[in-house]
Structure 1
Amino acid sequence: MGGAEPLSGLMAGHDLGRQLEPALKEVCEGRLSDIRWFRTDWQRGGAATAYAKFGENGATRDVVIKIPVGPMEHRVVSTLAGRDGSPTPRIALHGTEIGGWDLAWLIMERVPGNPLAAHLHKQVFEDLAHAAAGFYKATGEAWPDRPAPPEVNWEQQLERARESLRTNHPAAEQVWAQDIKLVMKKLPKLLAVWNTREINAWCHGDLHAGNLMRRPEGSAWGPPGEVLLDFAEVHPGHWIEDAVYLERIYWAKPEALDGAKPVSLIAKARRALGLDTSDDYQMLANVRRVLMAATIPAFLKQEGHPRYLQAALDVLNRTLPLVG
C-alpha cells in the first residue's frame, strides 16, 4: 500500500465513502455519477453505502455502492452475478483494492422498492425458499467442494446458558434449568446426529425476508425474480441451518409466517431444482431446534425479551421428546 494517503476515520461509515469517492470515480473512468452516501439504523462497523448512477454503452443504470465488503461477500456476489438463475445482485464493477488500500468493494444493481419483509405473507416465504434453493444450486455449481465448518462447542454454550439463569433469574427459571440439564444429558446423542450431518450447501447464514427483494419486469439488469442480499455470513453447512434460522426468527410471532413452514418450503424448493433432500432432514431440524432453543439464555442481552424467551422454551419442551 505504498504511496496511499492516510485513511482517517476508517470506521466512520459514510465518511469513509466520501474519502474514497475520488478513487472510485477514477477507477470507474467517469462512468459513476450522482453519488449519495447514506447510513441506515441497521448498519454496523465501517461499511459505507451509496446510491449512484452508472453509465455504460450509452445507458445509465441505478446502482448501489458498498465499501468495504468482506472477502466472502465479495467472492459470492462477484462470482455469481452473471450466472443464470442465481438470485444475487448483478454487478457493474467490483474490486479488491481502492486508492492503494486493500479494501474490497462492489458497485451493484439497485433493486427498486423495499425488502419483502415490509409486507409479510405466505407467498413471501415461498419466494424466499425459492431464492434460497437457487442460491444453493448456484453456489454448489460454483464451489462444489465444501470444507468442513468449524464445530460449535455446544457443551460450553449450554454451560453459559446455565450460568445466565443463575445470574439473571428469568421467568420460568426452574423449568429452563431442568430442560437444559436434560439437553446436556442427551447431548452426546444429539451431537452424534448433528456432527455427522452431510455438508451439502453453502448456507446463506442470514436468511430472512429483510434480505430479499424482487427485480421487476423490464429491469435493465436482467429478468424478473428474487434477489437475495447480504452475504457476509455465507458458510458451508447443511441447508437445514438456514431453514431453522428463518423459523427461529418467528418463534415469538408465528402468525407472521401466515401458515408457512420454512423447513418444508425450502425442502420442496430444493427438490424442484433437483437438489437432494433424501436424508432425515426433519430429525436434523429437530436437533437444531433443541440446540438453538436450549442455548437462548446464554444470549439474554440480544434475545432476552420475555415473549421470545417463553417461545423458545415452548419450542424446547415441544421438540425435546422428538429427539430421543
Structure 2
Amino acid sequence: MSTSQKKLSDIKYSVLDLAPVMDRETISDALERTRNLAQHVEKLGYNRFWLAEHHNMPYIASSATSVVIGHVAAGTSTIRVGSGGVMLPNHSPLVIAEQFGTLESLFPGRIDLGLGRAPGTDQRTAFALRRGTGSMAQDFPEQVAELRSYFDPSMSPGSSPVRAIPGKGLNVPTWLLGSSLYSAELAGKLGLPYSFASHFSPKNTVSALETYHRSFTPSKVLDKPYTMVGVNMIVADTDEEANYLSTTLQQQFLNLIRNHEAPIQPPVEKLNASEYELAALDQQLATSIVGSPETVNRKMQEFLDETQADEMMVISSVYDYEKRKKSYKLLSELTTD
C-alpha cells in the first residue's frame, strides 16, 4: 500500500489476549490474570481488550469467549471488551446475538463482536461443535446477515417471529476478522470494520487490506473503511532482552508446527529447531515487532506506513507476567509521544 503520513500517535492501540495457561497453574489462575491484564492496559489508555475463541487446547482458557468477556468487563470500567473473535460457524447466530445482547445490556457501550469463520480448533473438535448447527464456513455470509438482523430487524425482509432478547435494537459493533482475502472482501461489501490477523498470517496482510479498501461500500455502520491489524509485539529495555523474551512466542509456534501440546514456555538462549522449522518461523512471524523502544518505534512506523491501519491490536507473548505488563507499558509510552 502507498506510504501514509500517519504517525503512531494518530492511531489507536488495543490488546488481544488468549487467556494462556502457564505451567503449574490452574485455569482459574489464567482467567484471573487475564482480567488483571485488562485492568493494567485500561489504565495505560488502550482502546480495546479482545479475547479469542479456541477449543480443545489445554493451555488456552478462552473457549467460552462470551463468558470470559463478561468476567473481564466486570473488572474494568472504560476499555471496550470483545471477541477477536467468535467463530460464527461454531454457533447458532441467534445464540450469539442473545449472548452479546446480554453483554451489551450489562456493560452498555463497551462490547465489540468480532466474527471469524475458521473453527478455531482441529477438525474433530469442529465437528463436535458444529454437528448441532449444520453450519459450514461457506455459509458465513448468510450467518453474518442473520446475526446482524437480530440486532437490527430492519435488515431482514419481512417480519420474523424469532427475536433476540436481549439483543434486538442494541448497537453491538460487528467486525469481520480474517487471515485471507475472503473476509476482507465481505467486510468491504457490507461496510463493516475489518481486522486482519497479521500476527499469524503476515503474508496476506497488505493484499487483504487492499481488497477491503477496494471493495468497501459505505453503510449505516461506516462511511469510510476502518482497519485494524493484529501484531505480535514485544518491547523491553534493550534489543537483546526483547529478542530473548520473544523465544517464548517462537516456541509456541514451534509446538504448533510439531503438533505438540505444551504450556507456555520460558525463554531460552537458543532454540532447538531444524533449518526447516526456523524458516517456517521466519515466515509465520514476519511482521512481529520485537526490540527496545527505539527499535520498536522505527518498526512500528514502517508497519504503519505499509498498512495504513487505523488501529493496531497487540499481543505480547511474554512468559514472565511482570515483563509482559512492562512490554505493554513501554509501548503505551511510545504511542502517546
TM (norm. structure 2) is 0.25
TM value normalised by structure 1: 0.26
Greater RCO, CA 8 A, separation 6+: 2
